[in-house]
Amino acid sequence: MNINKKPLREFIGKPVVTKEGKRLGLVKDITFETRTGELIQLLIKDQTPYLKSLNVETNTSKESVIPYNSIIAVADFIVVSEEDLI
């Protein structure tokens, strides 16, 4: 999937769902490699109980972290593969 040319503002606030349609939360921020601009992960706000039950990685602020390699599609919402989260 090529999401390299999407501006940051197109990600912030978008809903994040699994490919099965389970809502996980909203994109709060993005972590990327400053040298290359490569997307590393999404930070999620308004985490749903479902996301919390998956026991995904969290940062020091207790925000859930969604790795880049789990992103399947970006449109009106961001679709991720649940298998790549756990």
Pairing of strands 39-45, 23-32: antiparallel
For residue 57, tell me if it sits in a domain.
Answer: yes
DSSP the chain: ---TT--GGGTTT-EEEETT--EEEEEEEEEE-TTT--EEEEEEES--HHHHHTT--B-TT--EEEEGGGEEEESSSEEE-GGGT-
Span 22-34, mean pLDDT?
A: 92
The CA-based dihedral angle spanning residues 82, 12, 30, 63, taken in that order and rounded to the nearest 10 degrees: -60
Q: What is the mean pLDDT of residues 31-41?
A: 85
**Looking at residue 33, which CATH number applies to its domain?**
2.30.30.240
Query: Would the pLDDT of 1 be above 60?
Result: no
Tell me, yes or no, whether 1 lies in a domain.
no
Residue 57, domain extent:
8-84
What percentage of the chain carries pLDDT values higher than 90? 55
Q: Is residue 2, in this structure, part of any structural domain at all?
A: no
The count of structural domains within the chain is 1
What number is the average pLDDT over the span 4-30? Answer: 87
Q: Is residue 39 part of a domain?
A: yes
